[in-house]
Chains A and B, each alone.
Chain A
């Protein structure tokens, strides 16, 4: 009798906790940018789009011809904020190598992951699988929408030329 009560109490407690953590982020799952906080309320977890990921990018227009200006900008952002963890080859450093990334993910997924990192790590199946491999949460590097698009173009250039 005592055990059952204790278990019931524990269950109740656990349920209450998990209920809380889905509405307000704890330290381990904090989404620190205002944008991602907004996105998190917009994207319902029931009909999650694992192809495009969670975030503001639902349709990204790509031109066949690569944009040199965006590539140059993407390269300098890469060197400042990304190269610490990502190589341009397929080799994993801290995070996965970038070679082939534009074949593995849709452009929307890439841009959402780059700008809405925390929420994606918390709910996207592919991002979570990668976290189990890398064991380091990708930092939110506060890329602007434009930054993310330039990075995408730089990734396309990297994939096309190899």
Chain B
């Protein structure tokens, strides 16, 4: 037995040693340390230390991971319909995806920002941007539900969003694509320089409810607004945006928007802007956008049309918007924890410029300007510059901070993370990523108080990292331990959709507030059924409202007759359970939309338009008890004009059911 075992072990070891070099890319051995597994292992039944919220890019969702394990905990649908739970399909949630262009079931979700208090994440809300049809969303972190979506007028593509100020006074939005703005937008594309404009929007966040309202917009020249971050501490009153395409190209931007040696970081004094708003200095412009809110008590979303916005023009109203030259086509725009240093990452630059807030203030005071750009003063580069990180790598994109005086910048082209010292701008360490890293995240890494233990790199390309899955491969995250002087890569995990920016925070800031079920007594959905006694089927013209309850493991009613072709049937399903982790599902044969998942104490509505006469099963889709397979029923559909009586119930005597 002993020799047999030894033989097996030897074969395994030899196999491993043979396999390792052949399937791992170069540099791998130097990147991974021997205790990596120990550092990321979270034993079964144990919780992770951090929540990691990761944008889903083209899937329009947010995925939630535990760190350091990289385990996927949840997918939160935000801008995209989600047939898995009925988001965007149920009558209650359909209005969430309404826009001025009608129902838009998809978007491109790039950046996330956690709400903050005193410059630190407070675990209340998560904000998300939509890059395609410009919107911002608020997710309640007690329920992990999207509660609010605000559309942005005068905008086309909301990229530099939804970053927030230190006390979540505002979140911002900015146009990635400048477009014609105003009454007549049917204009030649070639008139870009003359007619196209950009805007950045400041969205007020109610400190009690989290409700969003569009406070004001700033009208800007027609360039592309890319990313942003708020100031903090001494720079609290300011917001910084990266801008590219100052060439104002409208075609072949790959070449034509890369001509100038420098583009801009735009600095906005939002406190000064607030003063202008108070003094009624802005112009109220007629626009059209919608504001969608999910009411917690009725569990129902409403979509409201809005028709005006306050616009501030920095050419008319002075001293609150400035441009700072930044080489070349800056992407990331990141402010260090002290609020003094603003890092602009020029995608095409061979260096990273770091600006000083103190110097910017002095330059403004001393009017050290290099003329203006479209009427907005341009601060002299040297007057704003703290210094440059020389030869950091190729293609710097984004920077996060560890709170110990270090910055970490992603290098897209050279596929690496570079750690450098803010004080002396010296590169301290570099580690490869696999491959083509985009955003980075350190828990709290864009706030006043980062938790500088881990860094996560979100990669665009993963060829050869995972088992092949056809032409399309997973994108990925890589976890680095940054607690020591040198970074150590300790884990790879595939992500859902395409990860862009992400946020992370200590788990207990959220877990302690997590809602376990909705109190049935407080359910104010107009179609709630409070107890089986109240279950009923009501005909209203050709609309049939089924007030149906679910509890382990039956529906009331589960036999329904008297529906006719031409009817629209609304199943208002109330889950009567009052216990954690007991959702029920509801599906009906031939439904052209989706299923719905109903949380304990909640009411959700699925609309069903039968297309043929017959008997159709309904059933619970979420395994709920030992008798889950018995949780089913039937609905009978008769021909149009038939006189089948309306009968409904559960466990009805056969004699009470129509015989024909």
Contacts and interface: CB of A to CB of B under 8 A. Distances in A.
A142 B517 CA distance: 10
B579 A80 contact: no
Contacts of A65: none
Contacts, number: 63
A127 B248 CA distance: 75
A136 interface: yes
A24 interface: yes
A83 B533 contact: yes
Contacts of A84: 531-532, 549, 551, 554, 556, 576
Nearest to A80: B531
Contacts of B602: none
Given A32-B579, A79-B533, A84-B532, A136 B553 contact: yes
Interface residues of B, number: 29
Interface of A is mostly: loop
Contacts of B7: none
B12 interface: no
Interface in B577-633: 577-582, 625-627
Nearest to A83: B532
Contacts of B626: 135-136
Contacts of B531: 79-81, 83-84
B74 interface: no
A7 to B, nearest CB: 16
Given A79-B533, A94-B552, A137 B520 contact: no
Interface string B1-35: 10000000000000000000000000000000000
Contacts of A94: 552-554
Interface string A131-162: 00001110111100000000000000000000
A81 B520 contact: yes
A2 interface: yes
Contacts of A140: 578-579
Nearest to B601: A142
Contacts of A139: 551-552, 577-579, 582
A142 B521 contact: no
B552 A80 contact: no
A75 to B, nearest CB: 10
Nearest to A82: B531
A85 interface: yes
Contacts of B581: 30, 32
Nearest to A135: B626
Contacts of A83: 531-533
Nearest to A27: B581
B319 to A, nearest CB: 55
B8 to A, nearest CB: 14
A2 B579 contact: no
Contacts of B580: 30, 32
Contacts of B530: 79-80
Contact of B521 (A80, A93, A137): A80
Nearest to B555: A84
A30 B553 CA distance: 19
A136 B626 CA distance: 6
A141 B578 contact: yes
Contacts of A2: 1
B45 interface: yes
A1 B1 CA distance: 10
B391 interface: no
Contacts of A24: 45
Contacts of B534: 79
23 contacts: A24-B45, A30-B581, A32-B516, A32-B579, A32-B580, A79-B530, A79-B532, A80-B520, A80-B521, A83-B531, A84-B549, A84-B551, A84-B556, A85-B551, A85-B552, A94-B552, A94-B554, A135-B626, A136-B626, A136-B627, A139-B578, A139-B579, A141-B579
Interface of B: 1, 45, 516-517, 519-521, 530-534, 549, 551-554, 556, 576-582, 625-627, 651
Interface of A: 1-2, 24, 30, 32, 79-81, 83-85, 93-94, 135-137, 139-142
Given A136-B626, A137-B552, A141-B579, 4 more contacts: A2-B1, A94-B552, A135-B626, A140-B579
